[in-house]
Amino acid sequence: MTQSQQVSADPAPLRTPAYYQAQLDEKRERLCGLFADFTLPALEVHASPAEHYRMRAEFRIWHDGDDLYHCMYAPATKEIIRVDQFPTASRLINQLMPVLLEGLRPHPVLRRKLFQIDYLSTQSGQICVSLLYHRKLESEWLQAAEALQADLRAKGFELQLIGRAHKQKICLGEEFVIERLTVQGRELVYKQVENSFTQPNAAINEQMLGWALDVTKGSEGDLLELYCGNGNFSIALAQNFRKVLATEIAKPSVDSAQFNIAANGVDNLIILRMSAEEFTMAMRGEREFNRLKGVDLGAYQCNTIFVDPPRAGLDDATVKLVQDYDNILYISCNPETLQANMQVLGDTHEIARFALFDQFPWTHHMEAGVYLKRKAG
């Protein structure tokens, strides 16, 4: 960014309760319309807090002489918008933003070629901050960054500071935070690693976990989960099943999941570092994997499968695999690909529960959940 680019005030939209309800009603109508060809139960709508709901935030940094600001690019015009407060983000992020800038301003070694700041906050009060640079970080930077972290901690922030540059990652403390969620009156503990996937809306995450527990209550047999991430769902759902087998490909997520299994005292859950496609091949006997040595797939009586795929949805082979299970719990961050997958799954299964989760208020995006049961006969 250059000094010639314009900086303008943050144009906060009119976020009234009535406007929030109107955008939620529009999503309800759009989701029901998308699935109009299916026999549907009543849609269960889970509202988000209207403000301070997003636990992560990323800002570009605008430099003006010796001063600097958080900023964003306007999507349509690419105009630079100065951001002093960001109601979308958690209160903890908003509390830290001005204090962090105050700590950066007096130190050229911390400001120089700083182009982005990433925040990862929690409901537990812990927060991780990543400072991203277009230059190599030397010992002088480390000394100043350690002093900044100590100062912020002295001000009451339970903070982990990380510096990032090309092929560099310097962690001044831990590279993770510990989140604590309350689900149906039970506290669940999750390790969340910087720069790894975490659920962005903690309040909606608690509602999704509660809904998943409710729809699988009284289940018999075992659960298979694909795309388990840090164990967000599988750890919560383990109480409803005899055994749980889960897969995840990303190593940081698998490591977090193993930590979270131990932290929550779960003893009936195994995580396999495999992609959904690889596991599909293993289940069909098409290929053997060293990572499955010592795991007796035949010992699992999985009649329920849980999937929370990326926006692209399930590939054709995984859809066929999923169809083999009597009960399917499907959380989707893209209802359009869920609807496409349902064109196949609907041949063998019916929708028993149907939910909308307002994961991203004030945007077009929404999260959907369906619980499918095999059709009789």
For 13-25, what is each residue's pLDDT tens digit? 578 889 999 999 9
Mean pLDDT of all residues in the chain?
93
Residue 128: is it exposed, middle or buried by C-beta count within 10 angstroms (0-12/13-18/19+)? buried
Take residue 156 and report the two structure tokens written for it: 């009451």
- CB atoms inside a 10 Å sphere around CB 319: 18
Sites in the chain below the pLDDT cut of 70: 1-13
| Segment 219-245, tens digit of pLDDT | 999 999 998 999 999 999 999 999 999
| Segment 275-328, tens digit of pLDDT | 878 887 887 788 888 888 888 888 889 999 999 998 999 999 889 989 999 999
Domains of the chain, CATH where assigned? 21-50+201-374 (3.40.50.150), 54-177 (2.40.50.1070)
Q: How far apart are CA 103 and CA 247, in angstroms?
A: 42
pLDDT at 9 (0 to 100): 42
Q: Which of 352, 342, 341, 344 is nearest to 376 (CA)?
A: 352
pLDDT at 31 (0 to 100): 97
Q: Which of 225, 260, 221 is nearest to 243 (CA)?
A: 221
CA distances from 292 to 184, 250, 268, 288, 305 (A): 34, 16, 17, 8, 19
Take residue 200 and report the two structure tokens written for it: 């962005």
| 21: Cβ contacts below 8 Å, ≥ 6 apart | none
**Catalytic residue numbers, as ranges:** 333, 367
Q: Which of 60, 210, 194 is nearest to 126 (CA)?
A: 194
Q: Which of 34, 114, 21, 12 is nearest to 66 (CA)?
A: 114
